[in-house]
Amino acid sequence: RMVMKKSKTIGVLVPDITNPFFSTLVRGIEGVLYRENFVTMLCNADLDTKKETDYLEELSRRGVDGYIIASSAISNQAINDSLRKKNLPYIVLDQKKAEGYSDAVLTDDLSGGKLAGEHLNQLGHQKVAVVLPENATENIQTRLTGFQKIYPNAVLVHAELSKDGGRQAAKEIVKADVTAIFAINDELAFGLYLGLADVEKRIPQDYSVIGYDNIDMCEYVTPQLTTIAQPIYELGQTTANLLLERVEQPEKNWEEKTLPVQLIKRFSTARLK
């Protein structure tokens, strides 16, 4: 691959580096960039719009060759002003929705939500809850829409997208009349493990719990977490490859790729007794 650019640097913006989903994602990106002699410049946004806009401007001042944006706190206005108007190559994924002016990589969130619903349904659960953030990003909304195809009346419990959010949500869950819980990501599910234990509830005897992402920790908790696997590492690789193609060929047509997800059955979900 012949790339003749100035800084050989790609800026990567993620919302929360403490979540292993994003460290695996960045590892996938970085592996590809390293192989192509690019440096990865990582910016953690912390769901803070000011921080994101500052980073975007600073990266552009440093003359990075392209941007990978996984964080929704970056407004379309900021992207427009800092990147599009200057014809800088960028690609959006995960929490950042594609607006039709860039390449994009998605995972099949609609099927993922449906798979989670079908799994709980097959186990005989009638009353279920979904734990998710109140102002969920588009990818997470789509996950919910898929789940609601199976459970239109699922109880929605709002929580911050973190382990602590899940722990807090357990207090609401025990007040609701449900036997199974769809945690919209694995971090929330791990929070539920602790939160439900706090009130002496057991998984899966009292509640079946299914997560989303399939981060490494799923296998190291008891019971091992049933989840919907996103191809996280591959998502990072695909994104980096697509961006480098764009850096080389700025004029080619926009591309959008969707990667598949799958159900990973483990031991946190069980048949309703």
Closer of 52 and 65 to ligand RIB (Cβ): 52
Q: What is the closest distance, in whole angstroms, from the C-beta atom of residue 113 to ligand RIB in the complex?
A: 11
Q: Residue 212, interface with ligand RIB (CB under 6 A)? A: yes
Token output for 141: 């909304």
Token output for 27: 């590892």
Q: Residue 147, interface with ligand RIB (CB under 6 A)? A: no
Binding residue for ligand RIB (CB under 6 A) from 30, 94, 103, 108?
A: 94
Closer of 163 and 247 to ligand RIB (Cβ): 163
Closer of 64 and 140 to ligand RIB (Cβ): 140
Q: Residue 95, interface with ligand RIB (CB under 6 A)? A: yes
> CA-CA distance, 34 to 188, in Å (whole number)?
32
Total residues binding ligand RIB (CB under 6 A):
10
Binding residue for ligand RIB (CB under 6 A) from 30, 52, 103, 213?
A: 213
Q: Residue 187, interface with ligand RIB (CB under 6 A)? A: yes
**Residue ranges in 115-144 that form contacts with ligand RIB under rule CB under 6 A:** 139-140
Q: Residue 65, interface with ligand RIB (CB under 6 A)? A: no
**Amino acid letter, residue 163:** K
Task: Name which of 207, 208, 161 is nearest 187 in CA terms.
Answer: 161
Q: What is the closest distance, in whole angstroms, from the C-beta atom of residue 21 to ligand RIB in the complex?
A: 4
Cα-based distances in Å from 66 to 15, 93, 210 = 18, 14, 36
Contacts of 16 (CB under 8 A, 6+ apart): 22, 44, 45, 46, 47, 161, 162
132 Rama sector, left if φ>0, alpha if ψ -120 to 50, beta otherwise: beta
Closer of 144 and 180 to ligand RIB (Cβ): 144
Q: What is the closest distance, in whole angstroms, from the C-beta atom of residue 76 to ligand RIB in the complex?
A: 18
**Residue ranges in 10-29 that form contacts with ligand RIB under rule CB under 6 A:** 19, 21
Q: Residue 185, interface with ligand RIB (CB under 6 A)? A: yes
Cβ atoms < 10 Å from Cβ of 225: 29
Q: What is the closest distance, in whole angstroms, from the C-beta atom of residue 38 to ligand RIB in the complex?
A: 24
Q: Residue 71, interface with ligand RIB (CB under 6 A)? A: no
> CA-CA distance, 87 to 102, in Å (whole number)?
11
Kindly state the DSSP code that residue 216 receives in the 8-state scheme.
G
Rounded-to-10 torsion of CA 235, 238, 239, 241: 160
Closer of 30 and 213 to ligand RIB (Cβ): 213
- 155-158 and 208-213 strand pairing: unpaired
Token output for 112: 């993922």
Q: Which residues contact ligand RIB (rule: CB under 6 A)?
A: 19, 21, 94-95, 139-140, 185, 187, 212-213
